[in-house]
Structures are given as structure tokens and as C-alpha cells.
């Protein structure tokens, strides 16, 4: 373990001591990141509890008896009541008791207890127990879905099923097939380190931060930056427990191998025979995935670079040039960022650049960025080309030629910029090396927390501009800086809007909720919907997908009621409510009048 200076007490776990720890290669960086985050922290590490939570409709006596039964089945050490002080921690030392980036009261979205299964049969025991006692359960892989709710439960008092603590094995790596199978508690850090330990010529694909669950990120349809960047699209086969306790294997895993062994093509062929059902188990509450196969990328040459563009008005032209290059697969998932992020990734507080209120004026951003290595720019494109050197040279020649149509664009290799420039971090992530530096922008405000607003648009400049303008206008209205990350593919764009707020400031939290609600509403009016959202806004987002009198919602509910007749599995996740909760005041739809900080999320019955 690594010691923490500057008053940030405690030790940082490494992978050698904890499944959710940091790799030894990043141990010193983790020390520095934590120290910087804690240097601006003004909220207490923990405060005395004012309340705990019971499952809805369950008395204290009934709950106590049910918990004793579960402890008898799984062992007392594997069932823990959520009655201790809540500690927000930070990315590496995160809680499984609540959302560390709480946008409502810290004690609102809390579980009643945490349970730690060690294998699929344990998960079956928990599911059958939940059905017997009519207690909702909420499965979690690792709880690092930060910006989207972390380890929070949608229905207070649910029992959190922490899969990752004891189910964290890399079950298989098939180097010849370039595939693997993992349990929920395997992070990108852990999978990468295991591949390196075995000296295999394989890459993983990781998101901006590497501490999240490989399985969990895919089930939430997360993305990365290599040609294997669509994580769910590059999964192959899963094992899961249905809400009634039965075990299901998808794909070729449904066909037993010789002498009862796992099917040898389980991680080779995705669709198998008949309906392809895997998709209904991502972003849903239809089952608990306990194993998942993935394809790995064969090691290859690569060259990272950035392109800079001088004017805000270049935005549409940049999108239109990226689109055909991505359609021809000359570039993979790319990141286009605004110049303000050049300031944020330096890890300095907002007050270092601007001491005024409201969002930072554009002229201030321009003045400050002009003194940085990339100079006075508006947009920065982070890209990486893959293949042998001849192929990369040809690709870069074409890319420079296409972007050369934008006056004033510049091209930089990592060697053209200082060693500590952000490009060197992105070069690692873009070549499958999970890192930690992305946390530096959290120093922007004290007690920094964030929400993601994540709409999808066509890969067309005019559509991206409409969404960008809505986001910019509403951020100014509610007094938040705009941190746009525009991930452009050949046919669609993931626009990731990062709302950074002080979780110790009640006014900022209220404004952040209001901003999210209006962003969802205004973008939906233009036909743009989120692909992923914080659990408090999942009902409103699901409501926007309302074509044909909500046909999709009704279809999802029909599946839910069939697979989960007692509505025990993650009620409300992604806006899907079972019949035991549906229409009883749990939904947080557009126009809901509750003040979430004052009233909470539970219906007043």
C-alpha cells in the first residue's frame, strides 16, 4: 500500500491487496491524485448517521429475521448492514453504501445492507431469498459508474448485491482466440495487468479511467477508443441469474461441450441459434450477469496525435470531415474536446484561471489557453492510427489532407509537445493502457462531483451544433462551465456533457438537477435522446422514448413482469419498473414537483 501525504489519511490499496485497487505502476500517481483532491476538500470525510433505510413495506422485525437467514446461508461475514458512517472516499477508495457524488442528500439513495456472493450459486441463493421475503435487491459489479449514480440504489432500503468483492477472477484468457472471460469484479486495471503478466500480445480496450468493471461497463454500453471500442459489441457470451433464480447461458454457451465442459466456441461466436437475447440484459433489470466473455485486440502498431482548430465556428466542419473517415474505418472512436478542457486537465482549480461567478467567459478561456503549448485554439481532436508504420503513414497523410481544408488547423505528435501534456495520457488509453490521470479535472471545484448528460446525435455537423448550442445556453442559465467531449463515429455522435458541481453546496446540487432535467427535455424536443444517464433521471429519459404511446416502455414492462413477477430485481433501473412498484409514485418523470434534496425519492403514501 502507498501512504498519503498532506493530511489525506489512510492508505491506497493496490491490486495486490484488493480487487478494486490500483496497479503498482500507478501507486505513486494515485498518492498524488488523492492528495490533490483532498487538498480542496471542505466537507467532512464522514458525519454521524441520521437514518438508515428499510426495504419498502418490510418491518424492522421481518428484515432482521430475513438478514439472519441470509447470513446463515452465505456466512455472517458476507452480509453487512449499512449502518456505519457514510464515507464518500474517492475513485480508488469508493463506497458501496451510497453515491459518492450524491446529487441528493447523502443518506437518500442508500441500501439497507450489502451482500457478497462468491459464485453463481451464491447469487441464486440471494435471488431466491429476495423473492421469498419480497425484498428488492440491486446488483453492482464494482460501483465505479461515477457520474451515473455509483453504488446508489434507486429504491432506498434495497439490499445491494456487491458482486465484485468476491467474484473478481479472470476466468480464462485464450491467447490463440484473442478472447477472455471475466467475473464482475475484474477491472480494466486487473485485466490489463494479467495480460501483461502472461506476456501476451493482446490489448484490452478501456474507457478514460481504468478502475471500472469490464463486465459492468459493457452491460451499461460504455465505450473506449481502439477499433474494439464498442464494449458490448465486442462481448461474446454471458452467464446470468434470472430474477427467479434460474441460470441462463447465452450464445454458444447454451450448447454443452463434450462431457459437460463449457462449449469451446462460447467466446468465438456471438449469436448462436435462435433469438439473440444478450441485448436485453444490458441497461436493464432482467438478470444478474455473473460471467461475460470478451474479444481482445491483437497487439498492433499505433500512433497518437492531436489536431487543433482555431475557431469555435469550426465545429460543424470538423464533424463533417470526421464522418467519412470514420465510415471508411480510417479512424476509430475519437474525442473532440473544447479548449477549456486544456485548462481543466492540468488539475488546477477553477479559481486559478477565473475568480468570477457563473460560467467562465469565452475570452478568458482564450486568453488562458493561448499561453499553453497548443496556443490559441478552440477545438482539439485526439486521435490514434493503428497498423504497421507504412499504413499509419498513409492514413496520417490522408487525415492531414482532409483536415487541411480548415484554415489554421495544426497537427502535433506527442513528441512535439511537453512530456506532461495530456496527449501522452491519451496515447496510453488509446492503445489499451488503463490509467488514472483523467481525475485531474475533478480539482476544478472543491468537493468536486459530476453528472454526465449523454445524448446521441447523427454524425452531422448541424445536429451536433443544435445539441451543443442547447447545452451551452443551459449551462450559462444555471451557472455551470461547459466541458464537452464529442465522441464521433461514422454515423452517430456520443456527446458527453460533464456537469461538474460541489457536492457540499446545496444550491449547486439543486441547480445541477434542474439543468439535467431541462437538458433532457430540450434535447428530446429536437429528437435527441440520452444513451445512458444517472439513475435519478432514468425515468425521465425512458419517458422521452415515447413513440407510439410508449410502445417500447410497455414492451420492456411486459418482459419485466414475465421474468420478475415479484419485482425484486433492481426496480426502476433504466426506467423499468415491475408491477409491484409501477404507478405507485416511484417514477421521477418530467414535471415531477418533488424537491429531491428536501423530499427525497420515495413516494409519500
The residues annotated with a catalytic role in the active site are 148, 531-532
Q: Give the list of residues 6+ apart from residue 107 with CB closer than 8 angstroms, or none.
A: 49, 50, 51, 86, 98
Alpha carbons within 13 A on the beta-carbon side of 138: 29
Give the Å distances, CA to CA, from 449 to 41, 233, 554.
11, 30, 34
CB within 8 Å of 76: residues ≥ 6 apart: none
| φ/ψ (deg, to 5) at 130 | -60, -40
DSSP code of 197? H
DSSP 8-state class, residue 569: B
Residue 344 near residue 482 (C-beta atoms within 8 A): no
Residue 601 · residue 104 · CB < 8 Å: yes
- CA-based nearest residue to 209, from 148, 152, 154, 166: 148
10 Å Cβ neighbour count for 570?
27
| DSSP 3-state of 80 | strand
To the nearest 10°, report the CA torsion of 422, 428, 433, 434.
10
Count CB neighbours of 66 within 10 A: 20
Cα-based torsion angle of the residue sequence 265, 247, 113, 94 in order, rounded to the nearest 10 degrees: 10
Closest Cα to residue 372, out of 354, 353, 357?
Answer: 353
How many Cα neighbours within 13 Å face the side chain of 64? 3
Terminal alpha carbon distance of the chain: 49
Amino acid at each position: 500500500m502507498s501512504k498519503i501525504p498532506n493530511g489525506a489519511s489512510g492508505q491506497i490499496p493496490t491490486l495486490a491487496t484488493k480487487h478494486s485497487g490500483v496497479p503498482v505502476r500507478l501507486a505513486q500517481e494515485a498518492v498524488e491524485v488523492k492528495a490533490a483532491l483532498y487538498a480542496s476538500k471542505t466537507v467532512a470525510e464522514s458525519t454521524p448517521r441520521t437514518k438508515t433505510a428499510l426495504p419498502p413495506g418490510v418491518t424492522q422485525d421481518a428484515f432482521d429475521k430475513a438478514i439472519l437467514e441470509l447470513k446463515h446461508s452465505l456466512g455472517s461475514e458476507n452480509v453487512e448492514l449499512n449502518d456505519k458512517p457514510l464515507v464518500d472516499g474517492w475513485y480508488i477508495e469508493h463506497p458501496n453504501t451510497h453515491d459518492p457524488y450524491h446529487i441528493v442528500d447523502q443518506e437518500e439513495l442508500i441500501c439497507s445492507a450489502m451482500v457478497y456472493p462468491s459464485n453463481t450459486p451464491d447469487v441464486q441463493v440471494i435471488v431466491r431469498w429476495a423473492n421469498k421475503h419480497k425484498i428488492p435487491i440491486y446488483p453492482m459489479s464494482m460501483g465505479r459508474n461515477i457520474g451515473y449514480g455509483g453504488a446508489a440504489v434507486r429504491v432506498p432500503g434495497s439490499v445491494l448485491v456487491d458482486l465484485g468483492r468476491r467474484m473478481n477472477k479472470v476466468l480464462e484468457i485464450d491467447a490463440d482466440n484473442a478472447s477472455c472471460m471475466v467475473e464482475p469484479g475484474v477491472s480494466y486495471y486487473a485485466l490489463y495487468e494479467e495480460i501483461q503478466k502472461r506476456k501476451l500480445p493482446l490489448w484490452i480496450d478501456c474507457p478514460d479511467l481504468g478502475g471500472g468493471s469490464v463486465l459492468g461497463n459493457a452491460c451499461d454500453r460504455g465505450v473506449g477508443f481502439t477499433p474494439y471500442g464498442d464494449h458490448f459489441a465486442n462481448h461474446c457470451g454471458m452467464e446470468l441469474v434470472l430474477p427467479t433464480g434460474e441460470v441462463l447461458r447465452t450464445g454458444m454457451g447454451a450448447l454443452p461441450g463434450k462431457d459437460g465442459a463449457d462449449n469451446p466456441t462460447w467466446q468465438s461466436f456471438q449469436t448462436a441459434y435462435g433469438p439473440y437475447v444478450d441485448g436485453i440484459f444490458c441497461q436493464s433489470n432482467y438478470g444478474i450477469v455473473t460471467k461475460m466473455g470478451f474479444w481482445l485486440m491483437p497487439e498492433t502498431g499505433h500512433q497518437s496525435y492531436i489536431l487543433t482548430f482555431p475557431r469555435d465556428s469550426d465545429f460543424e466542419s470538423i464533424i463533417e470531415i470526421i464522418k467519412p473517415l470514420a465510415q471508411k474505418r480510417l479512424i476509430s472512436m475519437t474525442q473532440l474536446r473544447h479548449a477549456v478542457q486544456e485548462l481543466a486537465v492540468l488539475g488546477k482549480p477553477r479559481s486559478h484561471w477565473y475568480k468570477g461567478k457563473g460560467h467562465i467567459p469565452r475570452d478568458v478561456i482564450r486568453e488562458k489557453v493561448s499561453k499553453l503549448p497548443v496556443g490559441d485554439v478552440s477545438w482539439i481532436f485526439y486521435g490514434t492510427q493503428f497498423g504497421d508504420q507504412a499504413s499509419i503513414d498513409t492514413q496520417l497523410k490522408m487525415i492531414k489532407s482532409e483536415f487541411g481544408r480548415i484554415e489554421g488547423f495544426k497537427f502535433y505528435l506527442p513528441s512535439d509537445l511537453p512530456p506532461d501534456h495530456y496527449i501522452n495520457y491519451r496515447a496510453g488509453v488509446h492503445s489499451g493502457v488503463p490509467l488514472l490521470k483523467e481525475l485531474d479535472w475533478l480539482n476544478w471545484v472543491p468537493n468536486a462531483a459530476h453528472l454526465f448528460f449523454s445524448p446521441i446525435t447523427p454524425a452531422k455537423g448541424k445536429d451536433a451544433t443544435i445539441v451543443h448550442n442547447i447545452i451551452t445556453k443551459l449551462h450559462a442559465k444555471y451557472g455551470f462551465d461547459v466541458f464537452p467531449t464529442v465522441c464521433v463515429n461514422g454515423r452517430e455522435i456520443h456527446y458527453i456533457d460533464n456537469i461538474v458541481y460541489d457536492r457540499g453546496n446545496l444550491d449547486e446540487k439543486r441547480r445541477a438537477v434542474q439543468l439535467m432535467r431541462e437538458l433532457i427535455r430540450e434535447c428530446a424536443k429536437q429528437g435527441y435522446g440520452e444513451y445512458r444517464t444517472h439513475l435519478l433521471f432514468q425515468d425521465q429519459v425512458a419517458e422521452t422514448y415515447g413513440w407510439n404511446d410508449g410502445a417500447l416502455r410497455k414492451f420492456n414492462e411486459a418482459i419485466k413482469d414475465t421474468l420478475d413477477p415479484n419485482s425484486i430485481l433492481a426496480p426502476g433501473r433504466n426506467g423499468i419498473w415491475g408491477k409491484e412498484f409501477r404507478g405507485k409514485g416511484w417514477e421521477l418523470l418530467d414535471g415531477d414537483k418533488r424537491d429531491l434534496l428536501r423530499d427525497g425519492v420515495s413516494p409519500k403514501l
